[in-house]
Chains A and B, each alone.
Chain A
């Protein structure tokens, strides 16, 4: 049955009425529902649906037309109509919704940012970093697995715009006292650092902090910056920025072994700066980081500690094997330990070998001295960095202790922002359970969130010999295996 009525002076806007029509048509037993202001168009539409609108309808009247299968359905439909017409829309729950920024560029514009920290997966990181530069900020690319070509493009674009591109694979920066990525809470002071090595920068700045000297800024440049391809593009820019910075009185440049001609170019550039520059370019014959810390202290006229802090247990387990096994989360700390150990004991096999012929096989196993950088790109694909999640290293510690050839295990523990909230709590039980000496280099400051003293005490309590100086730790490992084999 067809029902048609006019309601005069009952205006609703057309969108609302289309909604109501739709609701009516969805009522059981209703084959067609049409509620609309009775404009000529709508009167025609109603006629087209088989209704007979009253001839006196005007555009100011509401036309209601319902086709229902029976009286009951019609009554239900008209009841529904009244409910719909009288309902007030539910207001938004909390006023204006806020849409979070979905791209780096959008976020930069919203915050008025001057720096962007990109840690998206490597295949996307370049686009996000370029967006940051396009939006006018310097960028720190924490992500790894970014191509060399992309790295060069980022650094060239940054240079054109007077910005700094740190990274990729830049783990550490401190800018204006703010730690980015993996960064220790160091006191403010006169030393600026340019670092192609995140853990190297962390180690140098924590040693300086232990000696009472602070830093102005730590500018990371990424581990490949001093390679032949990247040609120190970011290092040279960072040197100029620190040279122009009034808070910086001395600059330290840290890198794993650089390409020789690139190193020469950086040294030449540094000579032309007003600010003195110390180099820590880890290589055979170069000073270790502890020695660089001492040189920096001497050069700014600060006292050099006669010994660096160490937390030593009453006794270490007996050394029963000839080999040192290093399990590192920081690549530079691994490099430095390998330089010291290989200088004293000969070849050290590694996944980041000092010489190509010292490379570890795919299973990362060797009979003699061996050191693994668990933070290497290859080992971090698809899993968290070992500074955040130490389980992979724990498993390896247990495996090394079971190897009769293993005499000493050397490890690093890095504190600070971004790192595991309590690494000693994770490591100590594993150290206590093994029967080989464990020597730890502990990189941190008293102000770090994890607490340097507490971490050191936990590790020493588990039986490890703990050193603030990575070089001291490596030398102690050498001493231990030498004394056992009667050469000490």
Chain B
């Protein structure tokens, strides 16, 4: 029952004249900065907003996202965790074929074939892959995530994550370091050699350390890193060092050769992005907890394969809604420039899906120049993301915003209504297979991901 005796506090949307009348009466009121939704979406928006399940479904989605835990419990070969058999591979982003695969994805698949000993040369690997007999499928289809090209083969080791609150597991490969690396599509001999060392030394060493230390609460580390100036996507410096701090004593205690311990510590400490591969599976657990709720309009995946950008939405299950991946704009390494850049690639946009990365830009002043120059711009970026999300995550508090929680749970309907697209911070891969990283910058999803998702949500809504 409405309490008519309560003092009116009024939101207005529409003609300013009615708002001015409230101002003249000195009433507590707040106008919406209303603009028409994306063209041609009004009927589907009405269907989706009119879905009586929506409010409660989104509330459940938000509640599950915020309740999800993320604990590093083990490090194992992908064959044991992902269930990959010899000759099978996972890749980043929505499903794709070799024919449509971009340079970096092709390069990474070639490298993985060489690494697994399934081909003797890049040419042989290419012709086998082009022959269509090599099964590839998205990491997301197997509950995990892969950075950039995201190629995972059975012999690669992965971090194993658990969300005990929702009894769910996720995984991500180990970070290879910077420069010419498989995830950016490089497959030169030194790339393959490093992968072999990772399987022979790094993976087992991390396994020994994690098993000695016991489960590591990575969600807690992420919360701290956000307060230390990392946004968890393009900057993971504090997170990396906190992980190293936790692991190092156990590495030393594990009885490994001191040269191996030193090599592992050097790899982790010398690569500020090492922790990204732990933020990603943590983010995957958080977003997966909100999946498959009928009527919910919350995005549970944003991912790219270098050709297509794809999203998945809670209320529409495993369906992918795709559009052409954009080329990030940003800053380039060394002699590289925009012409060298491949379209957006990688599962790492799972960080934004979980409220980190571009969504937490306000908390990462050291990298704001990637997103337009100034700290106020970064604050505005995060502030705008609150307009398209259903929750705020108190575990990821942003000091510069008075410790407001990171904007969490992208709402398809709000994206379409406001025209504000998710802001993604990302690395830039070289277009030509074998190049590696050429820069880093920012990108937004193509708008059709959201309009086609809205159509599917509208079709799934009960008739008016």
Which of A's residues lie within 8 Å of B, judged by CB?
13, 15-16, 18-19, 21-22, 32, 34, 36, 41-42, 44-46, 48-49, 89-108, 110-121, 123-128, 130-132, 134, 137-138, 142-143, 147, 149-150, 153, 157, 160, 162-164, 175-176, 178-181, 183, 216-217, 240-242, 244-247, 388, 417-418, 449
Asked if A126 contacts B9 (CB within 8 A), the reply is no
> How many angstroms from the CA of A24 to the CA of B116 in the assembled complex?
43
- Minimum distance in angstroms from A271 CB to a CB of chain B: 20
Asked if B13 contacts A118 (CB within 8 A), the reply is yes
> How many angstroms from the CA of A143 to the CA of B46 in the assembled complex?
15
Asked if A217 contacts B387 (CB within 8 A), the reply is no
Q: Which A residues are in CB contact (< 8 Å) with B11?
A: 101, 104, 107-108, 111, 113, 115-117, 132, 137
Q: Which B residues are in CB contact (< 8 Å) with A94?
A: 376
Which of B's residues lie within 8 Å of A, judged by CB?
1-15, 17-18, 21-22, 24-25, 27-37, 42-43, 45-46, 48-50, 52, 54-55, 178-179, 331-335, 366-367, 369-370, 373-377, 379-380, 383-384, 386-387, 400-401, 413-414, 417-418, 420, 439, 464
Task: Please provide the 8 A-B residue pairs with the shortest distance between their CB atoms, ordered closest to farther.
Answer: A119-B14, A92-B376, A45-B334, A100-B33, A18-B331, A417-B21, A99-B383, A134-B55
Q: Name which residue of chain A comes closest to B390, CB basis.
A: A105
Asked if B5 contacts A116 (CB within 8 A), the reply is no
Asked if A114 contacts B9 (CB within 8 A), the reply is yes
Q: Which A residues are in CB contact (< 8 Å) with B6?
A: 114, 176
Asked if A175 contacts B8 (CB within 8 A), the reply is yes
- A119-B376 contact, Cβ under 8 Å, with A13-B366, A18-B331: no
Asked if B13 contacts A46 (CB within 8 A), the reply is no
Asked if A131 contacts B387 (CB within 8 A), the reply is no
> How many angstroms from the CA of A245 to the CA of B4 in the assembled complex?
7
The residue that A115 contacts in the complex, of B8, B46, B386, B439, with Cβ under 8 A, is B8
Q: Which A residues are in CB contact (< 8 Å) with B420?
A: 102
> How many angstroms from the CA of A97 to the CA of B49 in the assembled complex?
30
- Minimum distance in angstroms from B438 CB to a CB of chain A: 10
Q: Which A residues are in CB contact (< 8 Å) with B373?
A: 89
Q: Which B residues are in CB contact (< 8 Å) with A130?
A: 49-50
Residue among B18, B25, B29, B387 having the largest count of chain A Cβ atoms under 10 Å: B18
The residue that A179 contacts in the complex, of B4, B25, B50, B384, with Cβ under 8 A, is B25
Q: Name which residue of chain A comes closest to B367, CB basis.
A: A15
- Minimum distance in angstroms from B419 CB to a CB of chain A: 9
Q: Which A residues are in CB contact (< 8 Å) with B3?
A: 114
The residue that A178 contacts in the complex, of B10, B14, B333, B375, with Cβ under 8 A, is B10
Asked if A418 contacts B21 (CB within 8 A), the reply is yes
Asked if B13 contacts A120 (CB within 8 A), the reply is yes
Asked if A157 contacts B32 (CB within 8 A), the reply is no
Asked if B383 contacts A18 (CB within 8 A), the reply is no
Q: Which A residues are in CB contact (< 8 Å) with B178?
A: 41
Asked if A246 contacts B334 (CB within 8 A), the reply is no
Asked if B5 contacts A164 (CB within 8 A), the reply is no
- Minimum distance in angstroms from A336 CB to a CB of chain B: 26
Asked if B46 contacts A126 (CB within 8 A), the reply is yes
Q: Which B residues are in CB contact (< 8 Å) with A13?
A: 366
Q: Which B residues are in CB contact (< 8 Å) with A134?
A: 49, 54-55
- Minimum distance in angstroms from B297 CB to a CB of chain A: 11
- Minimum distance in angstroms from B363 CB to a CB of chain A: 13
Asked if B414 contacts A103 (CB within 8 A), the reply is yes
The residue that B42 contacts in the complex, of A119, A127, A217, A244, with Cβ under 8 A, is A127
- A15-B370 contact, Cβ under 8 Å, with A103-B414, A449-B24: yes
Asked if B30 contacts A164 (CB within 8 A), the reply is no
Asked if A103 contacts B417 (CB within 8 A), the reply is yes
Q: Which B residues are in CB contact (< 8 Å) with A18?
A: 331-333, 439
Asked if A19 contacts B49 (CB within 8 A), the reply is no
The residue that A124 contacts in the complex, of B42, B332, B334, B367, with Cβ under 8 A, is B42
Asked if B25 contacts A116 (CB within 8 A), the reply is no
The residue that B4 contacts in the complex, of A16, A97, A112, A217, with Cβ under 8 A, is A217
Q: Name which residue of chain A comes closest to B384, CB basis.
A: A99
- Minimum distance in angstroms from B171 CB to a CB of chain A: 27
Residue among A45, A101, A116, A388 having the largest count of chain B Cβ atoms under 10 Å: A101
Q: Which B residues are in CB contact (< 8 Å) with A111?
A: 9-11, 28-30
> How many angstroms from the CA of A470 to the CA of B45 in the assembled complex?
42
